[in-house]
Amino acid sequence: MDAADIAVLETPDEVPADSLVDLIGWTLKPEGLCRDERCVIVPDSSALRAGDGVSLAAVAGLLDRPVALDVDAGLVAIGAERQQRRGALQDRRAPDFSLPDLDGTWHALSDHRSKKKLLVAFSSW
């Protein structure tokens, strides 16, 4: 999981189905919503439909990701898959994440596998 996966999208909620791959990396196929080797079954494709396209909020819901819209600004924010946080809270599995340091070099938690890690979240506020 990195910041790009949760980037705020400049788009209305209703989008052409074939733009999903560019927006969120998932493609709507006859077998379901697919990304790489993974497919999520779409029980009722009409529930995703909005106008001539699909609703991003409905797609996010199917992927178990929270969503918030600002219709006036034309922005859609889609959060991380809830399963990742549940894995942390219920099964103790630390969700991997990747973030840049101040020089722009990316670091992932998984870079430090096989080491004990002290993770400190802090702020200036």
Partner 1 sequence: MIAVAIDEAADTIRNYIRNDTDGITYPVLMDPDHLLTELYAISNVPTVLLVDENDMIVQPNWNAYSTNTFKDFHGIDADAQLDAIRRWVRDGDTMIPVDDVAGSVADLTEEEERGKLHFRLATSLRNAGDEEGAERNFARACELAPHDWTIRRASMPLRGGDPFGPEFFDAGSPYHGINHPGTS
Instruction: List contacts with partner 1 (CB under 8 A).
Output: 1-3, 6-8, 66-68, 70, 72-73, 75, 77-80, 82, 84-86, 88-97, 99-102, 107, 109-110, 112-125
Residue written as tokens 């600002």? 70
Nearer to partner 1, 41 or 120 (CB): 120
Nearer to partner 1, 17 or 80 (CB): 80
Q: Residue 33: which of 68, 14, 51, 60 has the closest Cα?
A: 60
CB of 93 to partner 1, least distance (A): 7
Other C-beta atoms closer than 10 Å to the C-beta of 97 total 16
CB 75 within 8 A of CB 12: no
Nearer to partner 1, 38 or 115 (CB): 115
Name the β-bridge partners of 67. 78
